[in-house]
Structure 1
Amino acid sequence: MLADLGADVVRVQRPRKTTAPPGTEYRGRQIVEANLKDPADVAAVRRLIDRADVLIEGFRPGVAERLGLGPDDCCATNPGLVYLRVTGWGQTGPRANEAGHDINYISITGVLNAIGPADRPPVPPLNLVGDYGGGSMTAVVGVLAALIERHSSGRGQVIDAAMVDGVAQLTHAMWSMRANNRWSDERGVNTFDGSAPFYRCYECADGRYVAVGALEPEFFAELLSVLGIEPEDVGPQRDVSGWPRMHKLFADKFAQRTRDEWAATFAGTDACVTPVLSMAEAVTDPQLKARNVLVEADGRIQPAPAPRFSRTPQPEPRPNRNVVSLETLWQD
């Protein structure tokens, strides 16, 4: 994201034995190779850091310090440096030095337990909530906030961006509902966990699916109208005891037509019903095409930079750059 927004981003990586190009998630970055166990390479990396605004590291706590690249060392020679430390568990706490992945970080924060049917194991929501939502997005916000603060203080600072912290922030609405007795730790009775008949997916006649998100009363009323269901047949929208019957009514209806037939039927309505598309199908979706959400760059389909600004045009994705010399990078 930072490279998409115009930052000059350099990725320092260990020497690679393969010549395969890096993935599109590395687009817009210059790449240098360094052996951080070699004092000469560490010294060269330190010279690079001395010219940087931001340093991002993702080692376990204490590793950067042992390499001579910890915040005390780096900030001593570059006091304006924003030093971002991205980890799963954070720099402190009993798990700080344990290995982990997205699924682990969302499991201990209560998120994973809240996702999936009541009679089956919790379902991992890809690795979007921990790695990218709680991790990358929180880290980017922290970096930008620290850079803004630096304008008044003239000093950088260290950011401890733990994925478990970020995940907890993402679930603020659920914690608020829980405090008001509107969210249960038990799956199968909550509005957003796929239990509510008006907020879930339904299988259609062709085995594909539609997504229904008719939360508000007016949208729910339009859903019933388009489906041809009388309000008295489903009962009050928020009466949990009536959800099993409501779900069966909706499921029976959606099973009568194909996904694309339902998509055409609901197009232009406020019933909040959309087709569930594969990634291949998403490329041709009219809304995504109209906004150029997915673009071809460097010979690959990939998401376009976001968000969009009124004065500065949306940048074109910059291709991956070849490995450059550590000694010559950022030299005047």
Structure 2
Amino acid sequence: MSPLNDILVLDFSTLLPGPMATLFLADAGARVIKIERPPTGDEMRLYQPSVQNEGINFGMLNRGKESLSLNIKDADAMARLRPLLEQADVIIEQFRPGVMARLGLAHDDVRALNPDIIYCSINGWGSTGPKATLAGHDLNYMAETGVLGLSVDSTGAPILPPILAADIAGGAYPALINILLALRRRDQTGEGCLIEVAMGENLFPFLYWALGNANALDRWPVAGGETVTGGTPRYQIYRTLDNRHLAAAPLEDRFWANFVAVLGLPPELADDHRDPAATRAAVAEVIARKNAAEWMQAFEGMDVCCSIVLTLQEALQDPHWAARNTFSRSLQLGGKTIPALPSIIAPALRSTTVAPQAPELGSLTP
């Protein structure tokens, strides 16, 4: 039995954070109904690329859900929604603060119909504070929380991140965690609750090390000058002879000793406390003498915490993922069958009956 097989989720969210959270709820057995505005539904349905006019991004994030096509601004919308609102266990939305209230669907409105409801609001900055109604995307949240300023290139300019950390790690995952905790508490007390997930705010835990130093010692982090930002030869990216890159992270002394032994660094440079810049330069010079494959052969069987930087295509060809069945689930999309997004729900807790495709717009609409 799936742990959430008796849970009904109404998903008013679009794009990424909310849909990813409800994707994993569906993987755990919940019934998820997307409330989508006609005539196009979730904007991501129209995003390119697509297969046979089915948006790939939408398909990846909305596998196993159902769709109710409804303009919640219509006069009869509440009458149509009321039976679902009364039955729902969870509501998730990610409009700007105040939008659901104007639609008559705020937490208090829904709680009047369903006192046990767990109501999750995902937004950028929270519902209070000067930035509450400020529009933003992932890049903005990382820029305004100091995350982006700590990842820079050789000129000191911030590097554009390839992952949407605020949307996923700051939005989808906290929403999922708190919804599950709220369901557990409701089992104990019978009470629902209101959950607010502020994506920008939830990025700060990733800077735990910087916040601790800043608040306790008044020592503020410097891009390129900290352990995880390039301030040590033990946590660096080095170029190889064939213009590949070695991600070297032998932080602990035992790993560092193995690393410098393979490189053959003399003792005065192996002691990186004397002159870290000199050690880093020496390591870079040695790494540049051999190709990436040669280095991985040299490190074979050694605990050195070193990896070659792979392309995504190379990474997916790694037999490790096949051995773990990481991409064993399928997604049917535009007449094709492709690997589904790996689920963070443990295999023992996943539903085995989740539909392998995203819903057609209005699949539940009479």
Partner of residue 213, structure 1: 249
Alignment of 1:151-162 (within 5 A): 151-162=187-198
3-state SS of 1:106 partner: helix
> Are residues 1:272 and 2:305 paired?
yes
Shift of residue 176, structure 1, vs aligned partner: 2.0
> Are residues 1:250 and 2:283 paired?
yes
| Residue 97 (structure 1) aligned to one of 130, 133, 142 | 133
Structure 2 residue identity aligned to 1:52: A
Partner of residue 54, structure 2: 20
Please tell me whether the aligned partners of residues 240 and 288 of structure 2 are also in contact (alpha carbons under 8 angstroms).
Answer: yes
- Residues 173 and 185 (structure 1), Cα distance of their counterparts in 2 relative to 1, 3 Å cut: closer
Please tell me whether the aligned partners of residues 221 and 231 of structure 1 are also in contact (alpha carbons under 8 angstroms).
Answer: no
Shift of residue 285, structure 1, vs aligned partner: 1.0
Shift of residue 324, structure 1, vs aligned partner: 4.3
Q: Deviations over 1:25-58 (max 9, x none)?
A: 2222222221122122343233222211111100
Identity of aligned residues (%): 33
Partner of residue 315, structure 2: 282
TM-score, scaled relative to structure 2: 0.81
Structure 1 residue identity aligned to 2:294: E
Alignment of 1:136-175 (within 5 A): 136-175=172-211
Shift of residue 112, structure 1, vs aligned partner: 1.6
The list of structure 1 runs, each at least 4 consecutive aligned residues, that deviate by more than 6 angstroms after superposition, is none
3-state SS of 2:88 partner: coil
> Which protein has greater RCO, CA pairs closer than 8 Å, 6+ apart?
2
What is the root-mean-square deviation in Å for CA atoms of aligned residues?
2.4
> Are residues 1:40 and 2:81 paired?
no
- Residues 296 and 210 (structure 1), Cα distance of their counterparts in 2 relative to 1, 3 Å cut: farther
Unpaired segments ≥5 residues, structure 2 = 1-23, 41-45, 47-52, 332-336
| Residue 96 (structure 2) aligned to one of 52, 55, 60 | 60
Please tell me whether the aligned partners of residues 56 and 84 of structure 1 are also in contact (alpha carbons under 8 angstroms).
Answer: yes
Instruction: Work out the CA distance in 1 between the residues paired with 2:186 and 2:262.
Output: 55
- Residues 72 and 125 (structure 1), Cα distance of their counterparts in 2 relative to 1, 3 Å cut: same
Q: Deviations over 1:239-295 (max 9, x none)?
A: 5xx222122112122222222332333233210001211111111113222212234
Q: Which moved more, 1:184-193 or 1:214-223?
A: 184-193
3-state SS of 2:248 partner: strand
- Residues 204 and 315 (structure 1), Cα distance of their counterparts in 2 relative to 1, 3 Å cut: farther
Please tell me whether the aligned partners of residues 239 and 246 of structure 2 are also in contact (alpha carbons under 8 angstroms).
Answer: yes
| Residue 342 (structure 2) aligned to one of 294, 304, 309 | 304
